[in-house]
Amino acid sequence: MVFSSLTYLLLFMPIVVGFTFVSKRVSWKNTVLLIASILFYGWGEPLWVYALIGLTFLVWLCAAGVHNAQSTFWKKVCLALAIVLPMGVLVYVKYAGFLLSPLLGLFGITIPQVRMPLGISFFTFQIITYAVDVYRDDQLYQKSPLKLLLYVSCFPQLVAGPIVCYKDISEEIDNRTTTLDDFVAGMKRFICGLGKKVLLANVCGQVVEAVIANQSMYGMSVAGSWYMAILYSLQIYFDFSGYSDMAIGLGRIFGFHYAENFNYPYMSTGISEFWRRWHISLGTFFREYVYIPLGGNRKGTLRQIFNLLVVWSLTGLWHGANLNFVLWGLYYFVLIVLERFVFHRILKVLPGFVKGILTYGLVLIGWVIFYFTDSAQMSCYLAALFGIGGSVPFHTQELWMVVRQYSFLPVIAMVAAFPLKNLFSSTMQKCWKPLGTLWLLMVFVLSLVMIVGQSYNPFIYFRF
């Protein structure tokens, strides 16, 4: 079940929200939300839902060991178990074939293929944050395994984030309110995210496929390769930020306040800034639970570069067990090292718009690496971006036909990727505010119409 499906929008969500608001006590609300979350995940993963429950209970036991241990040694042992158990499952399911198959294949050994369950990377990280937070602060220990299961399985952010650190919402599990104002604000945010996904991301995705098909048929061109990269950058942004908006809105409806996950990343004027604006919860996780524990930038330049290498290697692998994701992570490692230690003085004197264009161009190259899991296709598209590889034309007539056919909504998507409200004064924003509700209703209705007419199109980040 996905948020942009009629089953969810017209059946599941109204029932769960209705029962939540009818429930007077927080304990009742928690029960409703826990049952709904298990049903939500079990709908798509009828077997892995038991693994989710089992892993949560095992980590709860390990965290209880951390809480009750009388020595630092045993606290560390329990913490290590709490990390190794879920990570072991993640590594086997997601990475065993990628990491071990080439070696074991020499001996004729094959690793059984296991279908990767939805959201395993997200809920694994959330389980780990709970164990680490309890180790760091004993007051965060959760006595009830069911409340911990609610935190891990809470359906708004279960399968595609944002990654919610336990310490950020531990208080709201037992003490939160569900008011009409929260419902209205949450629904507005949810509808905005739905519109991003259905009206912008899905359309951009269709154009990406059309451009790639066109180039496969009529040959690569420089303009076509950059056009595809731009469209994919819009597709993945609106797809993932749309899901995050829906998750944040749903959390608000149920009384949880999730942190922002995107902050207009394509207006960045540097690669480091881009990653402070893109998938903020993932960056926060790696900073708080990997980079800083490794020493961060406190142990000299060489150690800082090593720590960055570890973080960006893991970031690439987190997105998938394929060579292109590893290269994508290392690509950003190189860019950040160059930005911080080589070109930082030059970058300081460049105008902001120049740095913005350079940053976006580098991000587009990164998205080409990210998109193509086939190394040959990736190489062809990267070469075509710069006109390398023989007689690569700047454009083809067939490409312009595709551009003219699909140009309207991608242009809107590009404009919508920037904070347009900042162009208007506060007075003008107040004048337009009464029209906001009508506009959102139109977005919701249009989204429903598009969902009826579209084929199934899951969120991109479901596969991570």
Catalytic residues, which ones?
Answer: 319
Peptide bond into 162 cis (omega under 30): yes
d(CA 157, CA 3): 11
Please report the beta strands in 227-277, taking only residues with DSSP state E, as ranges in sequence order: none
As a whole number of Å, the end-to-end CA separation of the chain is 16
- Smallest CA-to-CA distance from 254 within 196, 189, 197, 350 is with 189
d(CA 241, CA 132): 27
d(CA 327, CA 312): 10
Mark 170-191 as b/e (b = at least 16 C-beta within 10 Å): bebbeebebeeebbeebbbbbb
Give one DSSP letter per residue of 325-355, joined into a string. Answer: HHHHHHHHHHHHHHHHHTSHHHHHHS-HHHH
- Smallest CA-to-CA distance from 359 within 62, 151, 132, 367 is with 367
> Which tokens sit at 320?
């998938």
